[in-house]
Structure 1
Amino acid sequence: MTCQHLAQAGEPAPQSAYEDGCPRCVADGFTGWVHLRLCLDCGTVACCDSSPRRHMSAHHDETGHPVMRSFEPGEKWRWCFTDELLG
């Protein structure tokens, strides 16, 4: 099963490099992020829900952007927050 959001999600250029870490964590002096995610609407890079600050979920809550993907090297899986589907 898939959803319209996953089917239509683009692949914007990331706003920061993987090696830079979670920009919001780094800005706050926090280095405890676990994994990074990429918003497929705007290219925002943020930490995952396994990270204490959960910045990608916060980004979704703030913007309504439905789809993100893993920003880990070698991973391309996607997640739709709206439909709660992996794609």
Structure 2
Amino acid sequence: MNIPYLFFTPQGRVKNPDFLEIVLETCNKNDFIVVSCASGARSLQATKELLSAGFKHVKNMGGGYSSWIENGFLVNKPNIPILVQST
């Protein structure tokens, strides 16, 4: 599942104010959770926040998705149609 920790806005990166609330609605504090992002930096911040909130089994995927690809690990991308909004 994808629960953004930061949003990319015209003003720069902005923390998702609902991040913790959404995770609490989706996951149990005893669930085993691996947090990732592209490089591992944002996910490290998110991991720290989850641990501070009392989640017991949270790990950051060091190096993120980029490192996953560089190490040749399997990626399975679902075939989901992309919806394009015309203007």
Query: Fold-level match, TM-score > 0.5?
Result: no
Which protein has greater RCO, CA pairs closer than 8 Å, 6+ apart?
A: 1
Q: Higher helix share goes to which structure?
A: 2
TM-score, normalised by the number of residues in structure 2:
0.32
